[in-house]
Amino acid sequence: MISLICAGGKFLPSGAIDPGKIEIFTRQRANFSNVNVIEVEEDVPFIMEAARKARGEYLLFLLGPARFMEGFERIFSDAMERPYPVLVFSDHMEGGTPRRLYDYRGDITERFPMGYVLGVKKSVLLELGLRPEFKRAYLYDFRLRLEERGGKIIRLREPLYEVPLSGGSGGLLASFSYLNYPPELEREVEKAFKDMLKRRGAFLSGGIRKVIDGDGEVPISVIIPVRNRARFIGKALDSLMRQTFVDFEVVITDTGSTDGTKEIIAEYAEKDRRIRPIFVEGGTLAEALNLCVRYSRGRYVAQLDSDDEYTPDALEVAFGAMEKHPEAALGVSYYEVIDEEGGLIEELGVVRHLEFDRNNILRTEGAGALRIWRRSVLLKLGLFDERNFPDFGEDYDMVLKAVESHDLVRIHRVLYRYRKHGGSSDITTEEERKINLKTLARKAAMERRKLINRAGLIARGLPAS
């Protein structure tokens, strides 16, 4: 028998529900023989009480109303019958359309999409339990702890239930949903995440190193990698020409544009000697960034994407912040989102990333923009990873490396304008690939942090285990 626990509220499942094989636990009264009502308001006590009373060996958490397909109970049960703990999720239908999820590859964030139905053995749930201090992040915390017990997260590729169309947006900022969390939810998720880091030996609490700065022929080098951005590269360069801080150079690497971008760059470079173009045939984004850094002459290196813009005071404010904080490896500001014509998209608001700290950055999608680096730090860290992150995630990976041993200064001003358009890499890169690349960066960072902490214990004469 399978026991369905309606974890998300007062609702009932529908579809292929055989009362002889399935029992339901809910907080909504219903006149059905297979429905058990437990009138407990908070989720964790309700779920644990339902699990204790369940007759089924297998439990399904329902996180919303679902209509189940024929045979779902057999497929879920077979998947949960393993010699090790498992948490099982499946593809499903959404508003009549197949919703294909992704194989789980170790994503440690709370945002990995797992649908609306999760399966686990009753014995596993009763052994691990749900932590009562969590009101909403209890299943995220449970998943992290289950993995630490040698558990596996298993995706079933067959749609086993249907839910109404969610109306959720994809693409731009979809993975940044945490920016709109209520404060209490953010606190819970952060606690679950940081508790996990501490259990796994990857939580950083010290070890900030002094930055060894280098000299520069100019204060700032703005670096721009570009390919086929004829529509926007002029706007990016115009935003630089309007800067209140004028002592900078612009290093642009074009990796083989065929749409007139090279000609636009050459025209700007002829008018302003601060612009230093590099034209190469082919190359990845990470290779273009690294070429820019190697050719740059600035003490600081500021990143600007070829379809974005700076505010007029961006370099002045960023330079001042870095000068006031000689201990910082990089500075990061707020940004706003604009449309293709440069108009502010007000409903998206200002992106501040106030959740940032050197541990929480491992579960978020980034630290923000504008990013201004000490060139010496980029060189010390080996520049952007061309092998693992050729065209996506290279900047996130570099931020993770930098904050492991250095400070990051937050610049509490909007200095950057991120342009939303159909050709943006955040739109064109497949969601599964983005998740997997960020997961790769986080896994590597976790291992580095464990080594940092072990080295710190050894230095203090304590056992590294």
Q: Are residues 74 and 143 part of one domain?
A: yes
Query: Cα angle at 231 between 229 and 233, to 5 degrees?
Result: 55
User: What's the CA gap between 271 and 283, in Å, rounded?
Assistant: 27
pLDDT of residue 36: 85
464 assigned to some structural domain = no
| pLDDT tens digits, one per residue of 187-222 | 999 999 999 999 999 999 876 777 777 788 999 999
388 assigned to some structural domain = yes
57 assigned to some structural domain = yes
Q: Are residues 222 and 161 part of one domain?
A: no
Report residue 174's pLDDT band, with 50, 70 and 90 as the boundaries: low
202 assigned to some structural domain = no
User: What's the CA gap between 169 and 296, in Å, rounded?
Assistant: 39
What angle in degrees, to the nearest 10, is found between the helix axes of 43-53 and 138-148? 60
Q: Are residues 63 and 138 part of one domain?
A: yes
Q: Are residues 160 and 223 part of one domain?
A: no
- Is there a contact between 304 and 236 (Cβ–Cβ < 8 Å)? yes
Q: Give the mean model confidence (pLDDT) for residues 59-74.
A: 93
51 assigned to some structural domain = yes
pTM flag (> 0.85): yes
Number of Cβ within 10 Å of residue 171's Cβ equals: 14
Q: Are residues 153 and 244 part of one domain?
A: no
| pLDDT tens digits, one per residue of 229-286 | 999 999 999 999 999 999 999 999 999 999 999 999 999 999 999 999 999 999 999 9
| pLDDT tens digits, one per residue of 369-427 | 999 999 999 999 999 999 999 999 999 999 999 999 899 999 999 999 999 888 877 77
User: What's the CA gap between 437 and 426, in Å, rounded?
Assistant: 13
User: What's the CA gap between 335 and 353, in Å, rounded?
Assistant: 9
Among 108, 137, 168, the domain boundary falls at 168
Q: Which domain holds residue 130?
A: 2-168
pLDDT of residue 457: 54
pLDDT of residue 284: 96
Q: Are residues 156 and 59 part of one domain?
A: yes
Q: Are residues 373 and 230 part of one domain?
A: yes
Percent of the chain with pLDDT over 90: 75
288 or 33, greater pLDDT:
288
What is the β-pairing status of strands 298-303 and 371-374? antiparallel
Percent of the chain with pLDDT over 70: 94
User: What's the CA gap between 395 and 220, in Å, rounded?
Assistant: 18
191 assigned to some structural domain = no
Q: Are residues 406 and 271 part of one domain?
A: yes
Per-chain mean pLDDT for the chain:
91
Report residue 169's pLDDT band, with 50, 70 and 90 as the boundaries: very low
pLDDT above 80 (res 460): no
Q: Are residues 230 and 100 part of one domain?
A: no
| pLDDT tens digits, one per residue of 93-133 | 998 899 999 999 999 999 999 999 999 999 999 999 999 99
Q: Give the mean model confidence (pLDDT) for residues 63-78.
A: 93
CATH number, domain of 226, equals 3.90.550.10
Closest CA to 23 of 203, 269, 32, 152: 32
Report residue 167's pLDDT band, with 50, 70 and 90 as the boundaries: low
pLDDT of residue 262: 96
189 assigned to some structural domain = no
177 or 48, greater pLDDT:
48
Structural domain total, the chain = 2
Omega into 370 within 30° of 0, i.e. cis?
Answer: yes
Report residue 10's pLDDT band, with 50, 70 and 90 as the boundaries: low
Q: Are residues 162 and 80 part of one domain?
A: yes
Report residue 168's pLDDT band, with 50, 70 and 90 as the boundaries: low
- Is there a contact between 388 and 440 (Cβ–Cβ < 8 Å)? yes
- Is there a contact between 49 and 3 (Cβ–Cβ < 8 Å)? no
- Is there a contact between 435 and 111 (Cβ–Cβ < 8 Å)? no
342 assigned to some structural domain = yes
Q: Are residues 164 and 229 part of one domain?
A: no
169 or 141, greater pLDDT:
141
Q: Are residues 223 and 162 part of one domain?
A: no
